[in-house]
Amino acid sequence: MHFALTEEQTAIQEVALAFARDRLAPHAGEWDEKAHFPVDVIRETAQLGMAAIYVPAEIGGSGLSRLDGALIMEALAYGCPSIAAYISIHNMVAWMVGKYGTAEQIAAWMPKLATMEWLGSYCLTEPGAGSDAAALKTTARKDADGYILNGTKQFISGAGATDFYFIFARTGGEGADGVSAFAVMKDTPGLSFGAIEKKMGWNAQPTRQVIMDNARVPASALVGGVEGRGFRFAMSGLDGGRINIGACSLGPAAFAIDKARDYMFERKAFGKNLADFQVLQFKLADMATNLEAGRLMIYRAADALDRADPHASMYSAMGKRFATDAGFEIVNEALQLHGGYGYLKDYGMEKLVRDLRVHQILEGTNEIMRVVISRKLLAGNRR
């Protein structure tokens, strides 16, 4: 078993990390404080091939692997987890278009998604349908000219600032088989947005409701051209989303460890550097060990997804659960190591604690991850 990255993967990681350090980290605190969504900076990542990472090259993407994508998300999140997580969401939208769109849809939509001329939002969750996505109530009624959509989507990242909305709606009866997927543009009559949510973290990206009130779309907006496949589309994206949000917890954890280490050499107590106290050395050692364990789990899950391993969903759930829990614990410990200074905005630790808390909820709560894992184990799906 070989654990080293290839030269190409190392180069990809270095490019993403340089962008995070130069273009994200210096501004992350200000974006958080002002609730500013830096669309111009986000679009710069498209020039680096980070807008359609695992979309095949022959249809306009970068043609990279899920493991490559995890490396990119981890590196970007070193600079700002909120922005990295949005870029992950945009990539999910681009991947779904490339995977499930018709040839005509891919030709029409992919060039603008791959260049980020269009920024994408993924619209599955509803006010009454979070973990139980099959219970969604948004409807798409067919008529002679296309479809009329009615309903509300909740907790939509980028809503109101993005251009392309990948929306799941019910075209048939109750349950998973009645769900279809639609591409809806921002300027569609009948499409509107709720107030910007006031959140604990992730303030650098807007989160709003997406509201459809007789929003009319043409028949060509039905992704894949066939009704009833939307729920399968949504479920197929979960493993990749879980891997990415786990990766977006690793980068900030690495940043927090770096900052805590530096602080331990700068700060003195009782005439000694903090780095000289064994109890703090042990704390730093545990933080680094948990970070490395999270990396191995996320990388293994991404590799399993690339290989279509039948256990990929379980590995993705395991990696997401462990990496997001560990990431939050690491940044919280880093804040503690900073003492009272960690509670101040100037040191950046409190922002990471606020940002990473939601990773334990996104892409399926960590309680749902335990459900996924236990079901696989109880069904005998383990090695």
Active site (annotated) includes residue 227: no
DSSP state of 222: B
Measured at the CA of 281, the angle between CA 280 and CA 285, to 5 degrees, comes to 115
Helix (H, G, I), strand (E, B) or coil at 150: strand
Q: Which residue's structure tokens are 């303030």?
A: 203
Other C-beta atoms within 10 Å of 157: how many?
A: 23
- The torsion region of residue 271 among left (phi > 0), alpha (psi -120 to 50) and beta comes to left
What span, in angstroms and rounded, lies between the C-alpha atoms of 225 and 138?
19
| Residues 6 or more apart whose Cβ sits within 8 Å of residue 86 | 37, 42, 157, 158, 205
| Residues 6 or more apart whose Cβ sits within 8 Å of residue 149 | 138, 139, 140, 167, 169, 182, 184, 190, 212, 214, 215, 216, 217
Q: Do 62 and 101 contact (CB within 8 A), yes or no? A: no
**Options 74, 227, 333, 363, the catalytic residue:** 363
Count of residues for the chain? 383
> What is the set of active-site residues?
363
